Protein backbone atom coordinates (compact mmCIF):
# COMPACT_ATOMS: atom_id res chain seq x y z
CA UNK A 1 0.00 0.00 0.00
CA UNK A 2 1.00 3.64 -0.42
CA UNK A 3 1.37 5.32 2.95
CA UNK A 4 2.02 8.96 3.82
CA UNK A 5 3.33 9.58 7.33
CA UNK A 6 2.89 13.24 8.26
CA UNK A 7 5.47 13.93 10.94
CA UNK A 8 8.92 12.33 11.12
CA UNK A 9 9.40 12.59 14.85
CA UNK A 10 9.79 9.60 17.14
CA UNK A 11 6.46 7.94 16.35
CA UNK A 12 6.33 8.89 12.68
CA UNK A 13 9.89 7.90 11.86
CA UNK A 14 9.79 4.54 13.66
CA UNK A 15 6.34 3.72 12.27
CA UNK A 16 7.23 4.81 8.74
CA UNK A 17 10.45 2.78 8.72
CA UNK A 18 8.66 -0.32 10.04
CA UNK A 19 5.79 -0.03 7.55
CA UNK A 20 8.37 0.25 4.77
CA UNK A 21 10.10 -2.84 6.12
CA UNK A 22 6.76 -4.64 5.80
CA UNK A 23 6.89 -3.90 2.06
CA UNK A 24 4.64 -0.82 1.90
CA UNK A 25 5.70 2.29 -0.01
CA UNK A 26 6.10 5.04 2.60
CA UNK A 27 6.71 8.77 2.31
CA UNK A 28 7.49 10.59 5.56
CA UNK A 29 6.60 14.28 5.52
CA UNK A 30 8.55 16.72 7.65
CA UNK A 31 8.41 20.52 7.33
CA UNK A 32 11.94 21.00 8.66
CA UNK A 33 14.07 21.04 5.49
CA UNK A 34 17.33 20.49 7.38
CA UNK A 35 15.87 17.47 9.14
CA UNK A 36 14.73 16.00 5.82
CA UNK A 37 18.17 16.43 4.32
CA UNK A 38 19.78 14.79 7.34
CA UNK A 39 17.37 11.88 7.12
CA UNK A 40 18.11 11.46 3.43
CA UNK A 41 21.81 11.30 4.25
CA UNK A 42 21.19 8.67 6.92
CA UNK A 43 21.54 10.89 9.99
CA UNK A 44 18.97 10.03 12.66
CA UNK A 45 17.43 12.89 14.68
CA UNK A 46 16.87 10.57 17.66
CA UNK A 47 18.71 7.69 19.27
CA UNK A 48 16.79 4.44 18.97
CA UNK A 49 18.57 1.08 18.73
CA UNK A 50 18.36 -0.37 15.22
CA UNK A 51 16.58 2.59 13.66
CA UNK A 52 19.46 3.88 11.53
CA UNK A 53 19.97 0.44 10.01
CA UNK A 54 16.26 0.03 9.30
CA UNK A 55 15.94 3.46 7.70
CA UNK A 56 19.06 2.92 5.60
CA UNK A 57 17.93 -0.46 4.29
CA UNK A 58 14.46 0.71 3.28
CA UNK A 59 15.68 4.00 1.83
CA UNK A 60 18.10 2.11 -0.40
CA UNK A 61 15.30 -0.28 -1.38
CA UNK A 62 13.19 2.69 -2.49
CA UNK A 63 10.35 1.93 -0.09
CA UNK A 64 11.04 4.82 2.29
CA UNK A 65 11.26 8.43 1.17
CA UNK A 66 11.45 11.77 2.97
CA UNK A 67 9.98 15.05 1.76
CA UNK A 68 8.75 18.47 2.81
CA UNK A 69 5.98 18.38 0.17
CA UNK A 70 2.86 17.26 2.01
CA UNK A 71 0.62 17.75 -1.02
CA UNK A 72 2.61 15.40 -3.23
CA UNK A 73 2.91 12.78 -0.52
CA UNK A 74 -0.79 12.80 0.34
CA UNK A 75 -2.12 12.93 -3.22
CA UNK A 76 -0.81 9.48 -4.04
CA UNK A 77 -1.52 7.80 -0.72
CA UNK A 78 -4.07 5.14 0.20
CA UNK A 79 -3.55 5.86 3.90
CA UNK A 80 -2.35 9.05 5.56
CA UNK A 81 -1.11 8.87 9.15
CA UNK A 82 -1.03 11.98 11.33
CA UNK A 83 2.00 11.59 13.62
CA UNK A 84 2.71 15.14 14.73
CA UNK A 85 3.43 16.25 18.29
CA UNK A 86 0.72 16.84 20.88
CA UNK A 87 2.69 18.40 23.74
CA UNK A 88 1.13 19.62 26.96
CA UNK A 89 -0.32 23.07 26.38
CA UNK A 90 1.36 25.80 28.38
CA UNK A 91 -0.63 26.91 31.38
CA UNK A 92 -3.32 24.26 31.65
CA UNK A 93 -1.84 20.84 30.79
CA UNK A 94 -4.30 20.05 28.00
CA UNK A 95 -2.89 18.34 24.91
CA UNK A 96 -1.99 20.96 22.31
CA UNK A 97 -3.78 19.91 19.12
CA UNK A 98 -2.77 22.88 16.98
CA UNK A 99 -0.39 20.80 14.84
CA UNK A 100 -3.02 18.11 14.33
CA UNK A 101 -5.58 20.67 13.15
CA UNK A 102 -3.11 22.35 10.79
CA UNK A 103 -2.10 19.14 9.05
CA UNK A 104 -5.74 18.00 8.89
CA UNK A 105 -6.46 21.01 6.68
CA UNK A 106 -3.31 20.47 4.62
CA UNK A 107 -4.20 16.82 4.08
CA UNK A 108 -7.76 17.66 3.08
CA UNK A 109 -6.53 20.08 0.41
CA UNK A 110 -4.24 17.45 -1.10
CA UNK A 111 -6.34 14.27 -0.99
CA UNK A 112 -7.16 12.56 -4.28
CA UNK A 113 -9.76 9.80 -4.26
CA UNK A 114 -10.84 7.63 -1.33
CA UNK A 115 -8.38 7.99 1.53
CA UNK A 116 -8.21 6.74 5.10
CA UNK A 117 -6.73 9.38 7.41
CA UNK A 118 -5.41 7.92 10.66
CA UNK A 119 -4.52 9.76 13.85
CA UNK A 120 -1.45 8.04 15.29
CA UNK A 121 -0.57 10.95 17.53
CA UNK A 122 -1.78 10.61 21.11
CA UNK A 123 -4.92 12.73 21.16
CA UNK A 124 -7.80 13.36 23.60
CA UNK A 125 -11.10 11.59 23.13
CA UNK A 126 -13.14 13.27 20.40
CA UNK A 127 -10.15 14.47 18.36
CA UNK A 128 -11.04 12.14 15.50
CA UNK A 129 -14.42 13.86 15.32
CA UNK A 130 -12.66 17.25 15.13
CA UNK A 131 -10.28 16.04 12.41
CA UNK A 132 -13.18 14.68 10.39
CA UNK A 133 -15.13 17.94 10.75
CA UNK A 134 -12.13 20.10 9.78
CA UNK A 135 -11.46 17.99 6.72
CA UNK A 136 -15.04 18.01 5.50
CA UNK A 137 -15.26 21.77 6.05
CA UNK A 138 -12.04 22.21 4.08
CA UNK A 139 -13.00 19.80 1.29
CA UNK A 140 -16.73 19.00 1.29
CA UNK A 141 -16.26 16.88 -1.84
CA UNK A 142 -13.43 14.72 -0.46
CA UNK A 143 -14.01 11.01 0.15
CA UNK A 144 -12.30 10.77 3.55
CA UNK A 145 -12.62 8.29 6.39
CA UNK A 146 -10.93 9.13 9.69
CA UNK A 147 -9.62 6.37 11.95
CA UNK A 148 -7.64 6.22 15.19
CA UNK A 149 -4.58 3.96 15.57
CA UNK A 150 -2.70 4.83 18.77
CA UNK A 151 0.90 3.69 19.18
CA UNK A 152 2.25 1.70 22.11
CA UNK A 153 5.99 1.97 21.51
CA UNK A 154 8.55 1.90 24.30
CA UNK A 155 11.52 4.13 23.68
CA UNK A 156 14.60 1.95 23.41
CA UNK A 157 12.56 -1.03 22.16
CA UNK A 158 10.31 0.66 19.62
CA UNK A 159 11.15 -1.45 16.57
CA UNK A 160 10.59 -4.71 18.42
CA UNK A 161 7.33 -3.31 19.84
CA UNK A 162 6.11 -2.30 16.39
CA UNK A 163 6.93 -5.61 14.74
CA UNK A 164 5.80 -7.83 17.63
CA UNK A 165 3.08 -5.82 19.35
CA UNK A 166 0.93 -6.95 22.25
CA UNK A 167 -2.04 -5.58 20.35
CA UNK A 168 -3.01 -3.23 17.52
CA UNK A 169 -5.90 -0.92 18.33
CA UNK A 170 -7.90 0.62 15.47
CA UNK A 171 -10.85 2.91 16.05
CA UNK A 172 -13.25 3.31 13.13
CA UNK A 173 -16.66 4.81 12.40
CA UNK A 174 -16.81 3.70 8.75
CA UNK A 175 -16.45 0.01 7.83
CA UNK A 176 -14.43 0.88 4.73
CA UNK A 177 -11.54 1.73 7.04
CA UNK A 178 -11.52 -1.80 8.48
CA UNK A 179 -10.44 -3.40 5.20
CA UNK A 180 -7.77 -0.77 4.57
CA UNK A 181 -6.27 -0.98 8.07
CA UNK A 182 -6.37 -4.77 7.97
CA UNK A 183 -4.27 -4.63 4.81
CA UNK A 184 -1.84 -2.14 6.36
CA UNK A 185 -1.15 -4.55 9.22
CA UNK A 186 -1.50 -7.78 7.25
CA UNK A 187 2.27 -8.56 7.52
CA UNK A 188 1.81 -8.91 11.29
CA UNK A 189 -0.75 -11.68 10.94
CA UNK A 190 2.09 -14.22 10.87
CA UNK A 191 3.07 -13.03 14.35
CA UNK A 192 -0.54 -13.48 15.45
CA UNK A 193 -0.71 -9.90 16.68
CA UNK A 194 -4.30 -9.28 17.80
CA UNK A 195 -6.07 -6.39 16.08
CA UNK A 196 -8.81 -4.84 18.17
CA UNK A 197 -11.32 -2.82 16.19
CA UNK A 198 -13.31 -0.40 18.33
CA UNK A 199 -15.15 2.86 17.98
CA UNK A 200 -12.88 5.82 17.33
CA UNK A 201 -13.45 7.40 20.72
CA UNK A 202 -12.78 4.12 22.49
CA UNK A 203 -9.43 3.78 20.70
CA UNK A 204 -8.46 7.29 21.76
CA UNK A 205 -9.27 6.46 25.38
CA UNK A 206 -7.40 3.14 25.32
CA UNK A 207 -4.11 4.92 24.72
CA UNK A 208 -4.54 7.33 27.63
CA UNK A 209 -5.94 4.68 29.95
CA UNK A 210 -3.01 2.33 29.27
CA UNK A 211 -0.36 4.95 29.99
CA UNK A 212 -2.15 6.26 33.07
CA UNK A 213 -2.52 2.75 34.48
CA UNK A 214 1.19 2.00 34.04
CA UNK A 215 2.05 5.36 35.60
CA UNK A 216 -0.13 4.50 38.59
CA UNK A 217 1.59 1.12 38.90
CA UNK A 218 5.01 2.81 39.05
CA UNK A 219 3.77 5.33 41.59
CA UNK A 220 2.23 2.60 43.71
CA UNK A 221 5.46 0.63 44.03
CA UNK A 222 7.37 3.84 44.78
CA UNK A 223 5.06 4.54 47.70
CA UNK A 224 5.47 0.94 48.88
CA UNK A 225 9.24 1.52 48.69
CA UNK A 226 8.88 4.49 51.04
CA UNK A 227 6.90 2.31 53.44
CA UNK A 228 9.57 -0.40 53.23
CA UNK A 229 12.22 2.09 54.20
CA UNK A 230 10.52 2.99 57.48
CA UNK A 231 9.31 -0.52 58.36
CA UNK A 232 12.36 -2.60 57.37
CA UNK A 233 10.78 -4.32 54.38
CA UNK A 234 12.44 -4.96 51.02
CA UNK A 235 10.55 -3.44 48.09
CA UNK A 236 12.11 -5.78 45.54
CA UNK A 237 10.84 -8.79 47.43
CA UNK A 238 7.44 -7.15 47.86
CA UNK A 239 7.31 -6.43 44.12
CA UNK A 240 8.17 -10.04 43.32
CA UNK A 241 5.65 -11.31 45.84
CA UNK A 242 2.78 -9.34 44.34
CA UNK A 243 4.01 -9.61 40.74
CA UNK A 244 3.81 -13.40 40.80
CA UNK A 245 0.06 -12.94 41.02
CA UNK A 246 -0.80 -12.96 37.33
CA UNK A 247 -3.66 -10.56 37.96
CA UNK A 248 -0.98 -7.98 38.84
CA UNK A 249 2.12 -9.03 36.88
CA UNK A 250 5.71 -8.08 37.57
CA UNK A 251 6.23 -5.35 34.97
CA UNK A 252 6.43 -1.69 36.02
CA UNK A 253 7.05 -2.68 39.64
CA UNK A 254 10.63 -1.45 39.87
CA UNK A 255 10.93 1.24 42.52
CA UNK A 256 12.91 4.30 41.53
CA UNK A 257 12.99 8.08 41.21
CA UNK A 258 9.65 8.43 39.41
CA UNK A 259 8.51 8.21 35.81
CA UNK A 260 9.42 10.61 33.03
CA UNK A 261 9.61 10.65 29.25
CA UNK A 262 7.47 11.88 26.41
CA UNK A 263 4.34 9.87 27.26
CA UNK A 264 3.50 9.08 30.88
CA UNK A 265 3.71 12.60 32.39
CA UNK A 266 2.04 14.30 29.43
CA UNK A 267 -0.65 11.68 28.90
CA UNK A 268 -1.53 11.30 32.57
CA UNK A 269 -1.97 15.05 32.88
CA UNK A 270 -4.01 15.22 29.67
CA UNK A 271 -6.30 12.44 30.92
CA UNK A 272 -6.82 14.39 34.14
CA UNK A 273 -7.88 17.42 32.07
CA UNK A 274 -10.20 15.30 29.92
CA UNK A 275 -11.91 13.98 33.04
CA UNK A 276 -12.32 17.49 34.41
CA UNK A 277 -13.74 18.78 31.11
CA UNK A 278 -16.34 16.01 31.03
CA UNK A 279 -17.22 16.37 34.71
CA UNK A 280 -15.86 12.91 35.48
CA UNK A 281 -12.71 13.50 37.57
CA UNK A 282 -10.02 10.83 37.69
CA UNK A 283 -8.83 11.15 41.28
CA UNK A 284 -6.35 8.28 41.12
CA UNK A 285 -4.64 9.75 38.07
CA UNK A 286 -4.64 13.23 39.60
CA UNK A 287 -2.90 11.88 42.69
CA UNK A 288 -0.43 9.91 40.56
CA UNK A 289 0.66 13.06 38.74
CA UNK A 290 1.10 14.95 42.02
CA UNK A 291 3.02 12.17 43.78
CA UNK A 292 5.35 11.66 40.84
CA UNK A 293 6.26 15.35 40.68
CA UNK A 294 7.04 15.36 44.41
CA UNK A 295 9.05 12.15 44.22
CA UNK A 296 11.70 13.52 41.88
CA UNK A 297 12.57 16.29 44.33
CA UNK A 298 12.43 13.78 47.19
CA UNK A 299 15.25 11.84 45.53
CA UNK A 300 17.37 14.97 45.79
CA UNK A 301 16.68 15.03 49.53
CA UNK A 302 17.67 11.37 49.68
CA UNK A 303 21.08 12.24 48.25
CA UNK A 304 21.49 15.06 50.76
CA UNK A 305 20.63 12.69 53.63
CA UNK A 306 23.23 10.20 52.35
CA UNK A 307 25.81 12.99 52.59
CA UNK A 308 25.12 13.60 56.29
CA UNK A 309 22.51 16.25 55.56
CA UNK A 310 24.77 18.83 53.95
CA UNK A 311 26.05 18.99 50.34
CA UNK A 312 27.01 22.65 50.25
CA UNK A 313 30.23 22.99 48.22
CA UNK A 314 30.35 19.22 47.77
CA UNK A 315 30.70 17.50 44.39
CA UNK A 316 27.92 15.12 43.37
CA UNK A 317 28.50 12.85 40.36
CA UNK A 318 25.31 11.83 38.52
CA UNK A 319 25.24 8.68 36.39
CA UNK A 320 22.46 8.75 33.79
CA UNK A 321 20.42 11.72 32.64
CA UNK A 322 17.80 10.38 30.20
CA UNK A 323 14.47 9.26 31.61
CA UNK A 324 15.32 5.64 30.76
CA UNK A 325 18.16 3.69 29.11
CA UNK A 326 18.58 3.25 25.33
CA UNK A 327 17.23 6.67 24.42
CA UNK A 328 18.48 10.23 24.25
CA UNK A 329 15.13 11.59 25.46
CA UNK A 330 15.38 14.06 28.35
CA UNK A 331 11.71 15.01 28.48
CA UNK A 332 10.48 15.05 32.09
CA UNK A 333 13.53 13.01 33.12
CA UNK A 334 13.86 12.60 36.92
CA UNK A 335 17.47 13.76 36.64
CA UNK A 336 16.31 17.31 35.88
CA UNK A 337 14.48 17.80 39.18
CA UNK A 338 17.11 15.87 41.11
CA UNK A 339 19.97 17.99 39.79
CA UNK A 340 18.01 21.17 40.39
CA UNK A 341 17.44 20.18 44.02
CA UNK A 342 21.17 19.42 44.40
CA UNK A 343 22.03 22.83 42.99
CA UNK A 344 19.53 24.47 45.32
CA UNK A 345 21.30 22.83 48.25
CA UNK A 346 24.65 24.25 47.15
CA UNK A 347 26.27 21.27 45.46
CA UNK A 348 28.52 21.16 42.42
CA UNK A 349 27.17 18.63 39.92
CA UNK A 350 28.99 16.52 37.38
CA UNK A 351 27.17 14.18 35.03
CA UNK A 352 27.65 11.49 32.42
CA UNK A 353 25.13 9.77 30.15
CA UNK A 354 25.94 7.53 27.15
CA UNK A 355 23.47 9.29 24.82
CA UNK A 356 21.69 12.13 26.59
CA UNK A 357 24.31 14.80 27.27
CA UNK A 358 23.66 16.87 24.16
CA UNK A 359 19.97 17.17 25.00
CA UNK A 360 20.81 17.71 28.68
CA UNK A 361 23.02 20.71 27.96
CA UNK A 362 19.97 22.60 26.67
CA UNK A 363 18.04 21.88 29.88
CA UNK A 364 20.55 21.81 32.71
CA UNK A 365 22.74 24.77 33.57
CA UNK A 366 25.90 24.75 35.64
CA UNK A 367 26.61 21.03 35.16
CA UNK A 368 30.07 19.70 34.31
CA UNK A 369 29.87 16.82 31.83
CA UNK A 370 32.39 14.01 31.65
CA UNK A 371 33.32 11.28 29.18
CA UNK A 372 32.80 8.36 31.57
CA UNK A 373 31.58 7.35 34.99
CA UNK A 374 35.13 7.33 36.26
CA UNK A 375 35.93 10.81 34.98
CA UNK A 376 33.04 12.44 36.82
CA UNK A 377 33.69 10.38 39.96
CA UNK A 378 37.18 11.80 40.46
CA UNK A 379 37.18 13.83 43.69
CA UNK A 380 33.40 13.42 44.12
CA UNK A 381 31.73 13.26 47.52
CA UNK A 382 28.85 11.10 46.28
CA UNK A 383 27.94 9.04 43.20
CA UNK A 384 24.24 8.93 42.27
CA UNK A 385 22.92 6.32 39.82
CA UNK A 386 19.80 7.82 38.23
CA UNK A 387 19.38 5.93 34.92
CA UNK A 388 20.18 2.21 34.71
CA UNK A 389 22.19 2.09 31.48
CA UNK A 390 23.96 -1.23 30.94
CA UNK A 391 27.27 0.65 31.11
CA UNK A 392 26.53 1.34 34.79
CA UNK A 393 25.67 -2.23 35.80
CA UNK A 394 29.23 -3.48 36.28
CA UNK A 395 31.12 -0.54 37.74
CA UNK A 396 34.61 -1.12 39.10
CA UNK A 397 34.11 -0.08 42.72
CA UNK A 398 37.74 -0.61 43.61
CA UNK A 399 38.70 1.92 40.97
CA UNK A 400 35.90 4.28 41.99
CA UNK A 401 36.97 4.24 45.64
CA UNK A 402 40.44 5.31 44.62
CA UNK A 403 39.01 8.19 42.60
CA UNK A 404 36.33 9.54 44.94
CA UNK A 405 36.84 11.87 47.88
CA UNK A 406 34.12 10.06 49.81
CA UNK A 407 33.03 6.58 48.64
CA UNK A 408 29.25 6.93 48.77
CA UNK A 409 26.78 5.47 46.26
CA UNK A 410 23.11 6.41 46.10
CA UNK A 411 21.55 3.78 43.83
CA UNK A 412 18.14 5.12 42.79
CA UNK A 413 17.48 2.12 40.53
CA UNK A 414 18.48 -0.71 42.89
CA UNK A 415 20.97 -2.01 40.34
CA UNK A 416 23.42 -3.29 42.95
CA UNK A 417 23.32 -5.48 46.04
CA UNK A 418 24.43 -3.87 49.25
CA UNK A 419 27.11 -6.46 50.23
CA UNK A 420 29.01 -6.22 46.94
CA UNK A 421 29.20 -2.42 47.18
CA UNK A 422 29.98 -2.25 50.89
CA UNK A 423 32.75 -4.85 50.42
CA UNK A 424 34.70 -2.15 48.59
CA UNK A 425 34.37 0.30 51.47
CA UNK A 426 31.40 2.25 50.11
CA UNK A 427 28.46 3.65 52.01
CA UNK A 428 25.47 2.34 50.04
CA UNK A 429 21.96 3.80 49.84
CA UNK A 430 19.16 2.33 47.72
CA UNK A 431 15.39 2.67 47.33
CA UNK A 432 13.13 0.66 49.61
CA UNK A 433 15.79 -1.79 50.80
CA UNK A 434 17.05 -1.63 54.40
CA UNK A 435 20.53 -2.40 55.65
CA UNK A 436 21.13 -5.06 58.28
CA UNK A 437 20.73 -2.45 61.02
CA UNK A 438 17.39 -1.32 59.61
CA UNK A 439 18.66 1.88 58.00
CA UNK A 440 18.56 2.65 54.29
* Closest-CA residue to 79 (of 199, 178, 10): 178
Structural domain for 238, as ranges: 226-429
Is 41 within a domain? yes
Is 372 within a domain? yes
Quick one: 232 and 109 in the same domain?
A: no
At residue 193, the pLDDT reads: 80
Give one DSSP letter per residue of 114-134, joined into a string.
SEEEEE-S---TTHHHHHHHH
Which parts of the chain have pLDDT scores under 70? 436-440
Q: Please tell me the total count of domains within the chain.
A: 2
Is 396 within a domain? yes
Residues 335/387, Cβ–Cβ less than 8 Å: yes
Is 50 within a domain? yes
The CA-based angle 94-89-356, given to 5 degrees, is 115
Helix (H) or strand (E) holding 265: helix 264-277
Annotated catalytic residue within 18, 28, 228, 263: 263
At residue 213, the pLDDT reads: 97
At residue 423, the pLDDT reads: 97
Helices marked H in 76-196 — which ranges?
Answer: 98-110, 127-138, 158-163, 176-184
Of 159, 179, 198, the position where a domain reaches its end is 198
Residues 414/254, Cβ–Cβ less than 8 Å: yes
Quick one: 322 and 191 in the same domain?
A: no
Helix orientation angle between 334-344 and 283-306, rounded to the nearest 10 degrees: 50
At residue 436, the pLDDT reads: 55
Is 203 within a domain? no
**Residue 156 main-chain phi, psi, to 5 deg:** 95, -15
**Residue 384 main-chain phi, psi, to 5 deg:** -120, 120
Rounded to 10 degrees, the C-alpha dihedral 172/174/179/181 comes to: -30
Quick one: 258 and 297 in the same domain?
A: yes
Quick one: 102 and 232 in the same domain?
A: no
Quick one: 188 and 249 in the same domain?
A: no
User: Is 18 a residue of the active site?
Assistant: no
Q: Supply the CATH number for residue 258's domain.
A: 3.40.50.720
Amino acid sequence: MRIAMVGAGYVGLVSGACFADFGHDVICVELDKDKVERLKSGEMPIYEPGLATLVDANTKAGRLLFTTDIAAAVAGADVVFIAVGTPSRRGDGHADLSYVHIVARDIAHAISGFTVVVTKSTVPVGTGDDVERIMHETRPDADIVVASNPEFLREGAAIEDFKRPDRIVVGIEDERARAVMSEVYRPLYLNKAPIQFTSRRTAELIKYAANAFLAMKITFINEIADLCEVTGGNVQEVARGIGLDNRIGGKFLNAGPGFGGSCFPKDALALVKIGQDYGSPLRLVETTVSINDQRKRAMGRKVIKACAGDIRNKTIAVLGLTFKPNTDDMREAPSIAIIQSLHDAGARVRAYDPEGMQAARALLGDVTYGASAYEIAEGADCLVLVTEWNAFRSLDFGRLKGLMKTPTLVDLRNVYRRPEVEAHGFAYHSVGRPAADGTV
